[in-house]
Chains A and B, each alone.
Chain A
Amino acid sequence: AQSVTQLGSHVSVSEGALVLLRCNYSSSVPPYLFWYVQYPNQGLQLLLKYTSAATLVKGINGFEAEFKKSETSFHLTKPSAHMSDAAEYFCAVPPSKLIFGTGTRLQVFP
């Protein structure tokens, strides 16, 4: 069965620094991969999704993720962190029931 692993339950960066949140999927290539973001006391909202049309996927708020089959990875990046990016980020994979990683909490320091 498909699964995802998020490396690092907490990531801290300074404002303006590069954000890198890691996600690896299990060996079989999934048709879709997602990143969701959860702001405090809110539900999850879609950040971006991979649909095999392009390996580099751009999402909302300046985030992007690159699908790398050779590394079975779908890491999330943003060149310059903002304070408003502080949230929890979840990588997820279908099929019929979405399976989530355990989440990475991003802290951004001024």
Chain B
Amino acid sequence: NAGVTQTPKFQVLKTGQSMTLQCAQDMNHNSMYWYRQDPGMGLRLIYYSASEGTTDKGEVPNGYNVSRLNKREFSLRLESAAPSQTSVYFCASKGGSPLSGNTIYFGEGSWLTVV
């Protein structure tokens, strides 16, 4: 019962380096999301994908790109990491059935530090 799986769990980057956070869900959900969590800011939506093949910007998209590779996978890429991108990143997914009540399921988080 994996749910939402994201990797890596921890990563340290140097300023200017690039990296990709991977996310996969096995619940056949249409919608997937990337959030970042910072102290005192709660969770802020970076990008989301309402269905395979579509992506849209959230509240804080600058400095990030995403790819909805297929229905299962939604990756987040930092092309040139900056210290301001030090954060905890959460991937999430949501089913489309009314019975699911729009419940979003989260991965366990990826702790990213940019030095």
A residues contacting B by CB (< 8 A) are 6, 9, 31-32, 34, 36, 41-46, 49, 51, 90, 92, 94-103
Could you tell me the dominant secondary structure of chain A's interface residues?
loop
In the complex, are the beta carbons of B106 and A43 less than 8 A apart?
yes
Is A32's CB under 8 angstroms from B102's CB?
yes
Question: If the complex has contacts A42-B108, A97-B33, are A103 and B42 also in contact, measured as CB distance less than 8 A?
Answer: yes
14 interchain pairs (CB within 8 A)? A32-B102, A36-B106, A42-B108, A42-B109, A43-B90, A45-B106, A49-B103, A51-B101, A90-B43, A100-B35, A100-B43, A101-B42, A102-B42, A103-B43
| Cβ–Cβ < 8 Å partners of B40 in chain A | 9, 102
Which A residue's beta carbon lies closest to that of B111? A41
The answer to whether A90 and B42 touch (CB under 8 A), given A32-B101, A42-B108, A43-B106, is yes
A-binding residues in B (CB < 8 A): 4, 31, 33, 35, 40-45, 48, 50, 58, 90, 92, 94, 101-109
State the main secondary structure of chain B at its contact with A.
strand
Cα distance A100–B60 when bound, in Å? 14
Contact of A34 among B4, B45, B48, B103 (CB under 8 A): B103
Question: Taking CB as reference atom, which chain B residue is nearest A9?
Answer: B40
Determine the chain A residues whose CB is within 8 A of the CB of B90 once the complex forms.
43-44
Q: Which residues of B contact A32 (CB under 8 A)?
A: 101-102
**How far, in whole Å, are A98 and B102 apart by their CA atoms in the complex?**
9
Contact yes or no, A97 B101, CB < 8 A? no
Chain A's nearest CB lies how many Å from the CB of B42? 4
Chain A residues, Cβ within 8 Å of B103 = 34, 46, 49
Q: What's the Cα separation between A51 and B103 when bound, in Å?
A: 11
**Which residues of chain B are within 8 angstroms of A98 by Cβ–Cβ distance?**
33, 45, 92, 94, 102, 104
Which of A31, A95, A98, A99 counts the most B-chain CB atoms under 10 A from its CB? A98
